[in-house]
Amino acid sequence: MNDNTTSQMICIAAVAGAFGVKGEVKIKSFTEKPKDCLKFGPFMDASGKVILTPVRSRSVKKFLAVVCEEVKTREQAEAMKSTKLYGYRSALPKPSEDEFYYSDLIGLAVELTDGTPKGKVKAVHDFGSGDLLEIKTPGERDWFHPFTKDAVPVVDIKGGRVVVEVIEPDEVEEA
């Protein structure tokens, strides 16, 4: 896999396991509207190889139950659990001014509001309570920072940096 292919691919969903007994694949979509992930062609791996071709789908709570050409049994679907599913960046809509693809944030330099360098964005996570930047600081532990407009007032993709507002524990008012 080369950097050119990697930069053209965006992770749009992941396999969450099997659904039912007939080989439906349970998919967690990373698009704003879950079914939108199906609009971007067959699902591929990070190298661009087609790995799942949806035939039909239905919404099941926060997931999609998808019948795919390549999967015929529950065991095959379960074996794909945690597989990331990609689409070509060119097929996806251009993000608006205050929207970003997670992949665009990874690798950006992290600075405090006073200009102090604090590392690089290692990953972006959503554990259920909002997006968090995972920040890698050389020689120190990785740390997490909320990815909100207040907590990250500057996202400069072209400049290769994000600016974070860190609130020290002594600055937090006690309830």
| Predicted local confidence at residue 52, as pLDDT | 97
Average pLDDT over residues 129-154: 92
| Model pTM above 0.85 | no
Query: Structure tokens of 41?
Result: 């062609």
Q: Is residue 173 a part of any domain in this protein? A: no
67 CB contacts (<8 Å, ≥6 apart)?
23, 24, 25, 54, 55, 56, 57
| Predicted local confidence at residue 66, as pLDDT | 97
Q: Are strands 63-68 and 131-136 parallel, antiparallel or unpaired?
A: unpaired
Q: Facing residues of 65 across strands? A: 26, 58
DSSP H helical ranges for the chain? 3-8, 74-79, 102-105
Task: Domain count for the chain, please give it.
Answer: 2
Strand order in the sheet with 109-112: 143-146, 131-136, 117-126, 109-112, 161-164, 154-156
Compute the distance between CA of residue 6 and CA of residue 34 in angstroms, rounded to an integer. 23
Judge if 27 and 87 occupy the same domain: yes
Judge if 109 and 155 occupy the same domain: yes
Residue 80's Cβ-count burial label (10 Å; 0-12, 13-18, 19+) is: buried
Q: Facing residues of 11 across strands? A: 86
Max CA distance (Å), the chain:
57
Encode pLDDT of 17-43 as tens digits.
Answer: 999 999 999 999 988 889 999 998 799
Q: Which of 27, 58, 91 is the last residue of a domain?
A: 91
Query: Residue 152 sits in which domain range?
Result: 102-165
Encode pLDDT of 66-118 as tens digits.
Answer: 999 999 999 999 999 999 999 998 888 888 887 888 889 999 999 999 999 99
Judge if 75 and 150 occupy the same domain: no
Compute the distance between CA of residue 104 and CA of residue 122 in angstroms, rounded to an integer. 11
Q: Is residue 46 a part of any domain in this protein? A: yes
- Whether 80 contacts 25, CB under 8 Å: yes
Compute the distance between CA of residue 56 and CA of residue 62 in angstroms, rounded to an integer. 17
Q: Phi and psi dihedrals of 32, rounded to 5? A: -55, -50
